[in-house]
Structures are given as C-alpha cells and as structure tokens.
C-alpha cells in the first residue's frame, strides 16, 4: 500500500471530488479500523444520544422491516435491532471494510442482522419493501441527493418513515461559531492523528459546509413526496429529518 502522501487516487477533500463515489468509498474503507473510536472521541459521546432519538422516531410505528443505509460499522443498525428484536433489520453500506466490522460487532452482541453492500442510488430491493429507513451521517456523502430520495421513497411502503440524521452547516452564531472552529481546525488534526488519514477529516467539515441547510433538505424531501418535519440538536449542530411516505 502506498503511503498516504503518495496515493494515486485523490481523496474527496480535494476540489471537485466532494461526492465522488469511488473516492468516498476508498476514504471510508481506509478509516474503518478507527472509525468507532473517532466517533466517540470527536463527539464526546453526544452522537449516541442523537442516534437514540433517530431510533425512537424510526421505530415509533412498530416496523417489521427496517433498512439502515450508509450503516458504517453498524452502530445505529445494532441499536435498531436491540430496540426492536422482532423486526428484520438490514444494514447497507458501500464500503466492504465497514461492513466487515459491522458483522463482527453483531456477532459479538449476539444479534441477527443482515449486512450487505448497497448503493443508495440503486437499491436492490422491491418497491415498498421497508417500513422504515434510517441514515445517520451518511446522506451528505451521496452523489445525487434527489436520486437518493427518489430511491428511498420507492423502497418504503405507504405510511413508511425515513429518518435522516445529519450535520447541517453549523449556525453562524452561538454554539455554531465554536463548533465551526472545532470542526475545521481541531477535528482534522485529531482525526488525522488517530486514523493516519488527515484528508478524510478535512473532507468531513468540507462536506458539512456544502450540505443543504435543514430547511432546504426538508424542501427536497417534500419534493420527493414525503411529509416532513425536522428537529435540531445541540444548538443546531445536528438535525433529524423525519419523512412520511
């Protein structure tokens, strides 16, 4: 393997490659070994409370089938299964190393969850297959938001629920000012130090700054056919959008 500084394939932090599918896949594959540790350290554990809120919304109507898309190492997927043991829970992601770690975590927890490779723009499931779909901190990496929303709408049954947990651009006042400094200056340094991939943690704040604000994302979901509401967490640092088909 080439040293990070000599890689031939540009990482998505470089201009024009923010949502290049192959570059994003390679980046997340490379940081998979330290992904869970970094999530806990860099968020001081607060991301877990946001995930629990997403799970409560996703399971509110007692779904039988749930898809956790862009599942990464399976944090939210396993939380869904623990909270709804009788539901069929599927975790989908496009980075095989993330899925390998998710399967290992499920085995250690004694949970029966199916993990498989999945392309958000071309999901291999029948129409109306799921009662709920969750996406935690992965939607902004999709190459085409409108196509992804159309595909998510397709695989949900009528009355099904889509829950998108994401980092919107930080507010320009209050806590958002401090968080923007942390996100753009401290996170890339610490993340790069722990993971050995500083580019991945430069990509993170860049992708957040380019992501639609909560009102714009709500309108996009409405245009895809969803009835939408959203809530902000921790001074607007995170947002949960809930769409009903």
47 annotated as ligand-binding: no
119 annotated as ligand-binding: yes
68 annotated as ligand-binding: no
- DSSP output for 130-199: EEEEEEES-GGG-S-HHHHHHHHHHHEEEEEEEEEEE-PPPPSSTHHHHHHHIIIIIHHHHHHHHHS-HH
73 annotated as ligand-binding: yes
Contact 89, 128 (CB under 8 A): no
Strands (E), the chain: 65-69, 88-93, 114-117, 130-136, 156-166, 227-233, 238-244
- The DSSP 8-state label assigned to residue 212 in this structure reads P
Please enumerate, by residue number, every residue annotated as part of a binding site for S-adenosyl-L-methionine: 73, 93, 119-120
Please enumerate, by residue number, every residue annotated as part of a binding site: 73, 93, 119-120
């Amino acid at each position: 393997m080439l040293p990070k500084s000599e890689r031939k394939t540009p990482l998505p932090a470089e201009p024009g490659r923010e949502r290049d599918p192959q570059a994003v896949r390679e980046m997340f594959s490379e940081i998979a070994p330290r992904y869970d540790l970094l999530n806990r350290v860099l968020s001081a554990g607060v991301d877990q409370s946001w995930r629990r809120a997403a799970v409560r919304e996703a399971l509110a109507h007692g779904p039988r089938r749930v898809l956790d898309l862009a599942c990464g190492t399976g944090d939210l997927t396993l939380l869904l299964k623990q909270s709804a043991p009788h539901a069929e829970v599927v975790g989908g992601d496009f980075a095989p190393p993330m899925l390998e770690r998710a399967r290992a975590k499920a085995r250690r927890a004694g949970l029966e969850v199916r993990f498989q490779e999945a392309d958000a723009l071309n999901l291999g499931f029948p129409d109306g297959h799921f009662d709920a779909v969750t996406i935690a901190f992965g939607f902004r990496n999709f190459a085409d938001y409108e196509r992804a929303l159309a595909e998510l709408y397709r695989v949900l049954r009528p009355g099904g629920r889509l829950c998108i947990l994401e980092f919107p651009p930080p507010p320009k006042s209050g806590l958002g000012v401090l968080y923007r400094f942390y996100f753009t200056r401290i996170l890339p340094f610490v993340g790069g130090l722990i993971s050995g991939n500083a580019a991945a943690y430069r990509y993170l704040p860049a992708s957040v700054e380019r992501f639609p604000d909560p009102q714009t994302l709500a309108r996009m979901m409405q245009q895809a056919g969803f009835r939408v509401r959203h809530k902000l967490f921790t001074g607007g640092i995170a947002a949960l959008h809930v769409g009903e088909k």
